[in-house]
Amino acid sequence: MNMTSKQRVMTSLNWQETDRVPLQIYVTPEIDQKLRDHFKGDYLQPLGIDFRNVYPVYRGKIKPSHDGIHYGLWGEGYCRVSHGKAGTYDEAVILPLAELQTMDDVEKYPWPRVEDFDFSTLADQCEQYKDFAVCLGSAGDPDIVNGVSRCRGMEQVLIDIATRDEVGLAIIDKRVDFCYNILRKSLEAVKGKVQVLCLGEDMGNQNGRMVSPKDFDEVFRPRLQKFIDLAHEFGCKAMMHSCGDTHEVQPILIDMGLDILDAMQPEPPGMNPEKIRAQCKGKLAFCGLISTQQTLPFGSVEDCRKEARHRLDVIAPGGGYILSPAHCIQPDTPIENILTIYDEALKG
């Protein structure tokens, strides 16, 4: 039986067999353009991608660009930096939240407002994608460490967390509450038309967990739990992005009720695909496990085909798996390697 994308995704996430594995893709701007050039337009349909994203429209003001610097919602400034073959990225160079030193500073800061978002277009966006699994949110919601770091600096944010700094935690909560309220109002506006609430928080690095168990339990868990609960309140699956080795945190995420752990990296020592799948099967679905550090950029077409086939034959059976690159596909990745992954998956 041929399923719609929505049927395929939700059946898999309910741990049942589907007509084929659900597919997702994450790309850098350079790869986005290469794929558009190859397909002469949209590439989501020919690659069989089963997800579509919606988000409210921002109608507020952002500080105008000048001197090669453009600004974000939180007042942070970015400069475009080329890393050669590794691509071009926006690097934060103006960190206004680093200047906040007292609680009075926090209260006086011009924080972005939920009222500046237009939620009226969301229902129509969802209707446009009614046959797909509709996702609301992103890996930036709430993305405590990375999101605040772009405005305050990574070192300072980690010090704030380690020392339980009053000002630092207040800034974190400003972001958490803002993201939460945007997502809540969005879910209220779409009236059940979203299937997946997308969240993000990097809980691992290449060698293990990012923060101590105490820091996770006291700082991260209560703040992330409210987002997972929000998803379930509105009948959605909760999907959280995390880079790195998360194998120690996975049992905790299961206890928190997380449905899908996204962008699963197979390279770290603790992330053996077969082992973590066996430990989490029936409890925590995975999205990812196609290597963006080794196989996609540096492997042959046959290497890519073999990796995709392993995930299809060994990881996917029984549902609860979305085949996807483990992170955004990097600019130095051969286009034929990308096409091979999805060609193999579409064979079933």
DSSP string, 78-128: EEEEE-GGG-EEEEEEE-GGGG--SHHHHHHS----GGGEE-TTHHHHHHH
Mean pLDDT within 186-203: 97
Residue 74 lies in a domain: no
pLDDT-derived band of residue 101, with 50, 70 and 90 as boundaries? very high
Angstrom distances, CA of residue 57 to CA of 20, 113, 118, 135, 186: 34, 13, 5, 15, 11
pLDDT in tens, 7-52: 999 999 999 999 999 999 999 999 999 999 999 999 999 999 999 9
Residue 177 lies in a domain: yes
* 44/86: higher pLDDT: 44
Lowest mean pLDDT among 88-92, 173-177, 253-257, 306-310: 88-92
CATH number of the domain enclosing 280: 3.20.20.210
Q: What are phi and psi of 235, to 5 degrees?
A: 75, 20
pLDDT > 90? residue 143: yes
pLDDT-derived band of residue 86, with 50, 70 and 90 as boundaries? confident
Per the CB < 8 A criterion, the answer to whether 12 and 54 are in contact is no
pLDDT > 90? residue 263: no
183/23 Cα distance (integer angstroms): 24
CB within 8 Å of 61: residues ≥ 6 apart: 116
pLDDT in tens, 54-77: 999 999 999 999 989 999 999 999
pLDDT in tens, 157-178: 999 999 999 999 999 999 999 9
Residue 202 lies in a domain: yes
136/299 Cα distance (integer angstroms): 33
Omega cis (within 30) before 142 = yes
Domain limits at 275? Answer: 5-59+99-347
29/89 Cα distance (integer angstroms): 9
Per the CB < 8 A criterion, the answer to whether 342 and 47 are in contact is yes
Residue 88 lies in a domain: no
pLDDT > 90? residue 266: yes
Q: H/E element holding 60?
A: none
Residue 112 lies in a domain: yes
User: Is residue 54 left, alpha or beta, with left meaning phi > 0 and alpha meaning psi from -120 to 50?
Assistant: beta
333/296 Cα distance (integer angstroms): 6
Could you give the number of structural domains in the chain? Answer: 1
**pTM, whole model, 2 decimals?**
0.96
Residue 77 lies in a domain: no
Buried b (16+ CB within 10 A) or exposed e, 40-64: eeebbeebbbbbbebbbeeeeeeee
Residue 31 lies in a domain: yes
Angstrom distances, CA of residue 114 to CA of 100, 176, 206: 22, 12, 35
- Look over the chain and give the mean of its residue pLDDT values, rounded to a whole number: 96
Give the closest residue to 54 by CA, choosing from 143, 125, 131.
125
The secondary structure of 187-230 as a DSSP string is HHHHTT---EEEEE---EETTEESS-HHHIIIIIHHHHHHHHHH
**End-to-end CA, the chain:** 13
Judged by DSSP in three states, 133 sits in strand
Confidence at residue 342, expressed as pLDDT on a 0 to 100 scale: 98
Confidence at residue 62, expressed as pLDDT on a 0 to 100 scale: 94
pLDDT in tens, 293-332: 999 999 999 999 999 999 999 999 999 999 999 999 999 9
Residue 89 lies in a domain: no
